[in-house]
Amino acid sequence: MQETKCKCGGNESARKFEKVCHILDSHSREKNKLIPILQEIQAEYRYLPEEVMTFVATCLDLSPARVYGVASFYANFALKPKGKHVVHVCDGTACHVKGSEDIKDALQKRLGLTDDKSTTEDMLFTLEPVSCLGACGLAPVITIDNKVYGQLTPADAVRLIDEVIAKEAE
């Protein structure tokens, strides 16, 4: 049996289930409110667990395939659990020209990630490429938990990550 284990205490996950029910109720369980419902659920879980999507499909009388179709269409919905810290590497034109590939490679190497595996085993980091952060003047740019760092070398980027890791270890 496949299970989604929650790392937090029991009350936390019960609260989440009740929250899902509450979110559904607050939208009167209407099919055409699927997107806001998913958004609010994602705010709770930080991603959209399969089982929860199936439950939502049941409650809204939609097919799970349709719910998944909608969820996978929008880049904003996360279908896999994300790490505690989310790192975005910009791969827009300006950043690409200024060597964002090398930064990505360096970070992937540091964190033991690949293009297909974007979250670390310990759930501490998720590394994702994004297509333009709108800070081209600072290229190449990365963000760590939405904070922007610009004009980086691969070594700079790795150092930033090391700082976060050090802080976590405290």
Partner 1 sequence: MENNEFVIVDNREILIENELNLLELIRKANIELPTFCYHSDLSVYGACRLCIVDIEGMGIVTSCSTVPTAGMKVKTNTAELRKMRKMYLELLLANHHQSCTTCLKSDSCKLQDLASRMGVNEVRFKMSEVKMKIDDSCPSIVRDPNKCILCGDCVRACHEIQGIGAIDFINRGSGTTVAPAFNKELKEVDCVYCGLCASVCPTGAITVKQEIDNVWQAINDEKKIVVAQIAPAVRVAIGELFGFDAGILTTGKMVAALKMIGFDKVFDTSFAADLTVFEETNEFLKRRESGKKLPQFTSCCPGWVKYVEQYYSDLLDNLSSCKSPQQMFGAIAKDTLPESYGIDRADLFVVSIMPCSAKKFEAKRPEFNKDGQSDVDAVITTQELGRMIKQAGIQFANILPESLDMPLGFKTGAGVIFGTSGGVSEAVLRYASEKITGIKSDSPDFVEVRGNEGIHVKTVKIGGVELKLAIVSGLKNAGKIAQQVRNGECDYDFIEVMACPGGCVSGAGQPVSSDSKARNLRKQGLYQADKTLQLHKSQDNPYVNKCYQDHLGQVNGPEAHRLLHTKYRSRKRFNDSSFSVFNNPVNEKLQVCICVGTSCYLRGSQKLMQKLIEYVRDNGLEDKVDVRATFCFENCDKGPSVKVGQIEHSKCTYEMLVAEMNKQLSKIVV
Rounded to whole angstroms, how far apart are CA atoms 90 and 46? 22
Q: Which residues contact 121 (CB under 8 A, 6 or more apart)?
A: 112
Of 6 and 155, the one with the shorter C-beta distance to partner 1 is 6
Q: Considering CB under 8 A, how many residues would be counted as binding partner 1? A: 36
Does 116 bind partner 1 (CB under 8 A)? Our answer is no
The verdict on 30 binding partner 1 (CB under 8 A) reads no
CA distances from 102 to 107, 127, 140 (A): 9, 14, 10
Binding segment for partner 1 among 6-14, 96-104, 109-117, 146-154 (CB under 8 A)?
6-14
The whole-angstrom separation of Cα 104 and Cα 106 is 5
Interface of this chain with partner 1, residues 51 to 90, rule: CB under 8 A: 51-55, 57-59, 62-69, 72-75
71 contact partners, CB below 8 Å, separation of at least 6: 38, 48, 53, 77, 79
Cβ closest to partner 1, residue 31 vs residue 110: 31
Smallest separation, CB 71 to partner 1 (Å): 9
Chain positions contacting partner 1, by CB under 8 A:
1-6, 9-11, 13-14, 17-18, 21, 49-55, 57-59, 62-69, 72-75
